[in-house]
Structure 1
Amino acid sequence: MKILAVCGFGVGSSMVLKMTLEKAVKELGIDAEVKNTDIASAKAEQADVYFTSAELKPDLESSTDKPVYAIKRYMDKDEVLKAMNAFLANKKGN
């Protein structure tokens, strides 16, 4: 599974989100590659799921048919786990 953490420039906040996603993935026992990137690169890169800010979510959703989840607090593992569990539940339903 490939997971992308996306922010405007692909440096600061996406790196923080990537680290939190890695903790969540490890806790859930998921085999996944987690990368951080900027919005322009994310539009050109295929992933199974994207995590970003509420501000960037609509822009990212317009360029992919894969799920995009908005995260408010990038360091909040519980919020990220909740979004990851929602993605996994939806994935099983398809």
Structure 2
Amino acid sequence: MVNVLCVCAVGVGSSLMLKMNAEKVLQSKGFEVHAENTNVTGAGGMSCDILVTTPDVYGNIRNCTAKHVILMENMVSKRELDEKISAIVGEL
């Protein structure tokens, strides 16, 4: 089971889209996925296998433990997410 945490500033729109895309990408690679979406404050104290967010949001997240961090330039790009997950899939 791969635990994914998707974070945006507000925790509603972009992070929800990231969550759905991360689930699809990882499931297509044969992984069972547990994904959550939240805001910067909600991410504090959480732990996950993969944290997905943007560089500016990542700089504001405190006390979140992640084995891998994926920083998205375009939060809605499934292609970018697939490429970045593919780069770490061997380590999951």
Q: Does the CA contact (< 8 Å) of 1:51 and 1:71 recur in 2?
A: yes
1:13 matched to 2:19? The reply is no
Q: Matches of 1:72 and 1:20 in 2, distance apart?
A: 15
Alignment match, 1:38: 39
Gaps of 5+ in 2: none
Identity over aligned pairs, percent: 26
Report the TM-score when normalising by structure 1.
0.81
Moved over 3 A (4+): none
From the two aligned structures, give the one with the greater helix fraction: 1
Q: Matches of 2:11 and 2:65 in 1, distance apart?
A: 21
Alignment match, 2:69: 68
Shift in Å at residue 49 of structure 1? Answer: 1.2
RMSD between superposed Cα atoms in Å:
1.7
From the two aligned structures, give the one with the greater strand fraction: 2
Q: Deviations over 1:21-68 (max 9, x none)?
A: 1211121111110111111111221111100012112333x6345222
